[in-house]
Amino acid sequence: MKLSLKVEYALRVLAQLGRYHGSTKLAHIEDLAEAEEVPSNYLVQILNELRNGGVINSRRGKQGGYALAKEPEGISLFDVMMVIDPGLFSNSPSRAGQSGPLVAESLNKIGAAFEARAKEISIRDLMPRDAGPMYYI
């Protein structure tokens, strides 16, 4: 499936915001841009869309910055894609032509598999995994 760079950028930055989660510090655009190697001029747009989509919160002025709006496990990759690249899921295939309906049906099945998987993965899954409980003999 063809994914835009924009979606990748958004996910990387959200993963980075996930690392800030729990602390009271807010993340700054420049820091996010540097840590995740995203052009900061472009990141401005992406963060705006994520905020308008309710995925992140922001604060202006000095001491300003960004933070996740919910727990990392409460934000799925599907949620992010819907905000950043809505056309990914909304464009249903045409039913034109004699075979249009059956083709559309099959393509929708493939799209459903894509969508289902995207809903199963959360921002938490993009964050470095804490070492699990260790058992010593």
86 binds, among DNA, its own copies, none (CB under 5 to 8 A by kind): none
CA 124, CA 18: separation in Å to the nearest integer?
7
Q: Is 38 in the site for its own copies (CB under 8 A)?
A: yes
In angstroms, what is the minimal distance from the CB of 125 to its own copies? Answer: 6
Of 10-18, 22-30, 44-52, 53-61, the window that binds its own copies (rule: CB under 8 A) is 10-18
**Contacting range for its own copies; rule: CB under 8 A; set: 7-15, 22-30, 41-49, 63-71:** 7-15
Task: Supply 62's token pair.
Answer: 């000095």
For DNA, the closer CB: 97 or 133: 97
Helices and strands, number each (H, E), in the chain = 6, 2
Show contacts with its own copies in window 105-134 (CB under 8 A): 106-107, 109-111, 113-114, 116-118, 121, 125-128
Torsions phi, psi of 121, nearest 5? -110, 135
The distance from CA 44 to its chain's CA centroid, rounded to whole angstroms, is: 15
User: Computed over its alpha carbons, how large is the radius of gyration of the chain?
Assistant: 18
Residues in the chain: 137
AA identity, residue 96: A
Task: Quote the least distance from Cβ 65 to its own copies, whole Å.
Answer: 17
Under DSSP, the state recorded for 14 is H
Q: Does the footprint of its own copies cover residue 12 (CB under 8 A)?
A: yes
Q: Which amino acid is at 58?
A: S
Longest CA–CA span in the chain (Å) reads: 68
Q: Which residues contact its own copies (rule: CB under 8 A)?
A: 1-3, 5, 8, 11-12, 15-16, 35-38, 77, 87-89, 91, 93-94, 96-100, 102-103, 106-107, 109-111, 113-114, 116-118, 121, 125-128
